[in-house]
Structure 1
């Protein structure tokens, strides 16, 4: 039933009838306030009582419950992207180029097409304290040979000589083995042709 605008509900509590004023939220939640006076409370004190309980937009026929009235948590802001400035790779200065060129002229055997001793683009770069890529680039620009050293050339030549000796020994061994096999096969054939003869 309606009374002063707010819905009135009567229920028994401990054998005594108690009057409640109710309010319903759009989510279905119901709020109740006891109205124990002899006469129904006016709408204004009932509305104030619901507001003290956390209800908002209170009107006799509707209201917003405390759960729906609670402020919604704001979504955390998306993290800002930090744009890192990419520095261009360091380039050789004129002085760097001159030092690299002079070192190449000192350490590279242009006729042989290799570094003297055990030098390489990397070791020359370490000595000059510059990236070895700069040394490689300058070597190519000067029209010099590959990044190989005299020591590596000697090592390669030594290894190739040993491989050649091994191949020759294998050929000699196989030839001697084949000759020995042929000789044994001839002797076996001759013995088989003679056949077994017992002593008389």
Structure 2
């Protein structure tokens, strides 16, 4: 058989001879197109008939069957194993004791704030424990908020300066308004008197 022609086979069906043109795939599948013409069909119309039947890479001596031509399914990515989440570490008895002692040492109950610049965070850092543990213990013991004397003094000083600034602005505005009123009255009096030039 020529490499430029499709393989031909004739079989008897219902008492008649029928001619088929064949195409083989690497997987072993075989494609058949019935050729009923008086002469052998040329390569081009046969190749088109195989393509319509789902074959690809059609050549007279080989092709790719529809099964092999179908797109391969994408592999399903393997799911990463779910890591078990450990619950957050909780304070033990020794941690709780140390936190209580630090709070009693640094928190001024009568003022409702930490002494100097202490805070939940600074106490936690000094004890090497999460500051959330310090916050929880402070609230459980009934202490006040997480504020300190330094912040209170700072806020008081800032508040006092703001009040002084507001008072000064009010004073300046009042002085300017009074002075404007005086000048406006003088101007009105002069305009009412009118200009009296030399006769």
Q: Is contact 2:8–2:21 with CA below 8 Å preserved after alignment?
A: no
Unaligned runs of at least 5 residues, structure 2: 12-19, 31-61
Distance 2:152 2:27 in 1: 91
Distance apart, 1:22 and its partner CA: 2.6
Runs of 4+ with deviation above 2 angstroms: 20-24, 29-32, 53-57, 65-70, 72-78
* Alpha-carbon distance in 2 for matches of 1:77, 1:171: 74
CA gap of 1:166–1:75, structure 2 versus 1, over 3 A, is closer
Show the 5 A alignment for 1:50-129: 55=28, 67-68=64-65, 76=75, 78-129=77-128
1:187 match: 186
**Cα RMSD between the aligned structures?**
3.5
Contact kept? 2:107, 2:115, Cα under 8 Å? yes
**Higher-Rg member (1/2):** 1
Q: State how far apart, in whole Å, the 2-side matches of 1:84 and 1:153 are.
A: 46
- Give the secondary structure class of the aligned counterpart of 1:22: strand
Q: 2:9 aligns with which of 18, 22, 38?
A: 22
**1:157 paired to 2:156:** yes
Query: Relative to 1, partners in 2 of residues 1:195 and 1:21: Cα closer, same or farther, differing over 3 Å?
Result: closer
Q: Deviation of residue 80 (structure 1)?
A: 3.6
Matched residue pairs, number? 157
Judged with a 3 Å threshold, the aligned counterparts in structure 2 of structure 1 residues 89 and 198 are, in CA distance, closer, same or farther, namely same
Deviations 1:48-81 (A, max 9, x none): xx8xx86469xxxxxxx984486x9686354144
TM normalised by structure 2 equals 0.67
Q: Does 1:138 align with 2:137?
A: yes
1:31 — aligned with what?
22
1: CA distance between counterparts of 2:124 and 2:10? 85
**How does the TM-score come out when normalised to structure 1?**
0.66
